[in-house]
Each structure stands twice: as C-alpha cells, then as structure tokens.
Amino acid sequence: MDTTEPPFSQSRFEEIQKEVSAYVKKIGYNPATVPFVPISGWNGDNMLEASANMPWFKGWNIERKGSKLDGKTLLAALDAMEPPSRPMDKALRLPLQDVYKIGGIGTVPVGRVETGVIKPGMVVTFAPVMLTTEVKSVEMHHEALVEAVPGDNVGFNVKNVSVKELRRGYVAGDSKDNPPKATEEFTAQVIVLNHPGQISNGYTPVLDCHTAHIACKFREIKEKCDRRSGKKIEDNPKSIKSGDAAIIELVPSKPMCVETFTDFPPLGRFAVRDMRQTVAVGVIKGVKAKDLSGGKVTKAAEKAQKKK
C-alpha cells in the first residue's frame, strides 16, 4: 500500500478488492469468507498491528460456519484460518517417490502418506505388483516414528524385499484394510487444456497420476460433456479438442495403481502430458481392478500375520 498513488490510497485498495473478489467467486470460493487486508510489508503496516496510515480501513470481517470473525491485521486473518483436516480415518495410501538400498538397514521405500496411517509392525501390500511384506520401522528426518499420518514424508524399512522389486509409482497400503489394487482400466472426466489437434480413440499420451508416470490409451471417448455442469452434450464423439470436456475410458500400458477421486483424491486426479506440456487434466470416476491374488507374500509378512 505504500507504493500506491497517492500512498495508502483507499480507492486503489477498493478497486483491487473488487477485482479479486470477482476472480475468487469465478473459481468457486465465496468472497464473503475471504478477509482482505491492505498492508505494507516494507513498512509493516497492518501486518502485526493496526496502522495509523490507513484510518479509513475499518478492519475485515468474514463469516465462518455461521459465526462472524473480524480483525484489522494480516496476522489476525492468518489466525482465523482453519487448518484442513487430515484424512487419517481412511485406508492407507502411500505412493512411492523412490526406493533406496541402505547398508546395514536394507530396502527403504520413500514417499508421502496421502491417507491413513503407517506404523512399524504393519503388514503392507504394494500395488500394482501385489507384493506383501512387513514394515520394520518408519522414519521421518532421521527420527523413528511410532506412526506416520497424512502429509508426512517418510522412509520405511521393509523385510525380505529387494530394491529391484519396488519402484516409483507403486502404492503401499494396509494389507488388512482395503489394500490398493492393480488397475485394468478406468473411467475419467478429462478437460483438454491446449492440444494443437484433435484427440480421438487410440490416443496414448503419458499420464502423471500421484508419483506414477505411465502411458495410457484413450480406448473410448464415451461422451462429450459441459465442463461446468458435467451435463452430457454428445454421445461417442469422433474427437475432442482444446476446451472440451469428456468422459473417457483409459487403459494403462503398464501395471498401474489409481483410485477414484471421491475415495482417494490424491490418487484420483491426473495430468495428461504430451509434447513436453500438459495437454489435459482429469479426475477418475470409476476403476476396474485387476485380480492379482497370487502376489508374492514374504516370510516376514507370513510371520507377522500369524502373530496377530
């Protein structure tokens, strides 16, 4: 605000607030729940305490769950924010970012817990290879954890598994509680952002979904729909182009593990990459799992399962 013309200009603040409110509304938020605070980071105005330079600013007030909140500073606005809840009550999903072999310890897959909880002693299954083994220990920043929760980036040591059996893009889950499965095919709503030509059946770009990076074939474009409302416009279109939204059946070219967006959001959204750019984005509506019941179960997993 110290660089407006004139400095600390009320009309400039109101102009920006009006413009940003319109944008905030357009992308799906309610402007009434967003605090707007005129500040000068350089001088510290309205950052920690109310500034004398803007007597016209009466403070922000917003509605949150039926109650009114108000304040004059940026700090107060940050304090009024509600932290998002962590999805700990869901089944475990931990997409692997990497797998290391550490001398004296063994095989250590690394990744972020997206949903659920991972603990030492737990028996986990890695999809899509359906490999089951026991977790020896869980570490974050070189400290052993009793349990890791969503948002934690962890390394966990697994027994009787070689580094070659695991790779980036695999997903770890609790073998007893809705374990992840290999995906045979899935249905997704895709929005084409910028593709120079037409996309038709048989198009096989690379999909980036969680940490997996796998080519998937657009087997069938089932219907073209309105990108805002999701209402059907046309059945079985020959092709789709930039700006179109469609329901599409996709088939992965290699073993892959994905979930529906409603069950596990981090594993149910993807970007479509082609020509070194993101050509489309999508959310997964339905998944047909492969039956791979004969996956490898390590001795450690068998022992741990007998104990329990």
Per-residue pLDDT of 113-160, as tens digits, reads: 999 999 999 999 999 999 999 999 999 998 999 999 999 999 999 988
The answer to which of 77-81, 164-168, 298-302 has the lowest mean pLDDT is 298-302
> Are β-strands 143-144 and 94-102 bridged in parallel, bridged antiparallel, or unpaired?
unpaired
What digits encode the pLDDT tens for the residues 86-111?
889 999 999 999 999 998 889 999 99
All structural domains of the chain: 10-80 (no CATH), 93-181+295-306 (2.40.30.10), 183-289 (2.40.30.10)
| pLDDT band (50, 70, 90) for residue 293 | low
pLDDT at 69: 82
Which residue has better confidence, 28 or 266?
A: 266
Per the listing, tokens 């009550």 go with 89
pLDDT at 74: 93
The yes-or-no verdict on residue 273 having pLDDT over 70 is yes
What digits encode the pLDDT tens for the residues 181-196?
999 999 999 999 988 8
3-class DSSP state of 186: strand
The yes-or-no verdict on residue 308 having pLDDT over 60 is no
The angle subtended at Cα 150 by Cα 146 and Cα 155, nearest 5°, is 55
What's the whole-number mean pLDDT along residues 203-208?
A: 94
Of 112, 115, 154, the C-alpha closest to 135 is 154
| pLDDT band (50, 70, 90) for residue 64 | confident
pLDDT at 307: 66
CA distance 112 to 211: 10
CA distance 18 to 24: 10
The yes-or-no verdict on residue 284 having pLDDT over 90 is yes
Torsion of CA 262, 267, 272, 278, to 10 degrees: 100
What digits encode the pLDDT tens for the residues 223-249?
999 877 778 888 888 999 998 899 999
Q: Quote the tokens at residue 200.
A: 């038709």
Helix or strand run (H / E) with residue 15: helix 10-26
Q: What is the mean pLDDT of the chain?
A: 90
Phi, psi of 202 (to 5 degrees): 100, -15
pLDDT at 296: 77
CA distance 117 to 296: 23
What's the whole-number mean pLDDT along residues 239-264?
A: 93
CA distance 276 to 2: 42
Q: What single-letter amino acid sits at 40?
A: S
Neighbour count for residue 135 (Cβ, 10 Å): 22
Per the listing, tokens 């074939």 go with 217
Helix or strand run (H / E) with residue 301: helix 299-307
Q: Quote the tokens at residue 105.
A: 């310890």
